[in-house]
A and B are shown apart, each in its own frame.
Chain A
């Protein structure tokens, strides 16, 4: 697959978020998904809520959800692992139907990586019983809506791994 074929358009992702009724994006800057952030910042229908550490994204999203809003969390895989107890305490213990979009640092199509952020993220999600979808390019974009449907149906957090070889640390 060429770089051009592999690209995930941020416009497609943002459109998916809007179609799924997302009101707030709780996020921490992330080398893998900065291209998404730049577009979200310009999108008037999405309010960005920046946090200081990723664990705080889960408690903030819980508060937003309890208050009637529909947040999505945008963080990196390193931050996902930092958030273990917050995922447990706020996402799982309160049945918060939130989608977590995770920049998959270290991900490669050939599967070989020395980046421990990539090595451990899927075992981490499996340990918590978090269902996840891999999104590499525009053809995979419908999986984002699947994640929202899954979250609403199960009342649990569901992850979308943004496996983009051509942005951030993966370049």
Chain B
């Protein structure tokens, strides 16, 4: 099933394909629409939805990937959020973190503020920027076949890898996780590190 615009994938299909066969991967989710999308696809204690400062999801993922080198870390975020933290691509490229993957749901819009165009609507190619920063593999996916390759790369490719999933610009359904960042952090840490890690 293709999205409602030529050259774009259904947003719901992209997220479902990305997460449907997840195992023990640690999933960091950038604030805004990706949080609703990923929660709608199925909440999970090893998902870490973020409510913090915009433009930092990739760096939270980097820190987590460094702290947990034996675990796969997948960052799912939006194009607006990624554009606000482009310098993180350079830092991750320089770190060459092999267990880190970034998947951007790129609808070329700021979804939470009125669907205004982001820079990717004007030709900015995030995958090419990641490649230039030194990511080991990158892809820009605009159809179902490319989506399948992108998801394989995100789940199993030697990192750092970067996938820009060009998704149709529809607004996401508002399926919310708890809105308290500390609650989400504690849930995530308990699932990752065990109950002793969250004792006060």
Interface size on B, residues (CB 8 A): 34
Residues of B close to A69: CB separation below 8 A: 63, 66-67
B interface: dominant SS: helix
Residues of B close to A93: CB separation below 8 A: 51-52, 181-182
Q: Could you tell me the distance in whole angstroms from the C-beta of B89 to the nearest C-beta in chain A?
A: 9
Q: Could you tell me if A94 and B61 are in contact, using CB atoms closer than 8 angstroms?
A: no
Q: Could you tell me if B56 and A66 are in contact, using CB atoms closer than 8 angstroms?
A: no
Residues of B close to A90: CB separation below 8 A: 52-53, 56, 60
Residues of A close to B107: CB separation below 8 A: none
Bound Cα distance from A45 to B89, whole angstroms: 26
Name A63's contact: one of B55, B60, B87 (CB within 8 Å): B60
In chain A, positions 56-94 with a C-beta closer than 8 Å to chain B are 56, 58-69, 71, 85-86, 88-90, 93-94
Given contacts A63-B59, A95-B185, contact A86 B64 (CB under 8 A): no
In chain B, positions 162-184 with a C-beta closer than 8 Å to chain A are 181-182
Bound Cα distance from A55 to B59, whole angstroms: 10
Bound Cα distance from A36 to B149, whole angstroms: 45
Given contacts A51-B91, A64-B66, A68-B67, contact A88 B181 (CB under 8 A): no
B95 within 8 A of A: yes
Q: Could you tell me the distance in whole angstroms from the C-beta of B192 to the nearest C-beta in chain A?
A: 7
Q: Could you tell me if A68 and B87 are in contact, using CB atoms closer than 8 angstroms?
A: no
Bound Cα distance from A90 to B61, whole angstroms: 13
Q: Could you tell me the distance in whole angstroms from the C-beta of B20 to the nearest C-beta in chain A?
A: 25
Give B residues with C-beta under 8 Å from A. Answer: 28, 48, 51-57, 59-68, 85, 87-88, 90-91, 94-95, 181-182, 185, 188-189, 192-193, 197
6 CB < 8 A contacts A-B: A56-B59, A59-B52, A61-B63, A63-B65, A65-B63, A93-B182
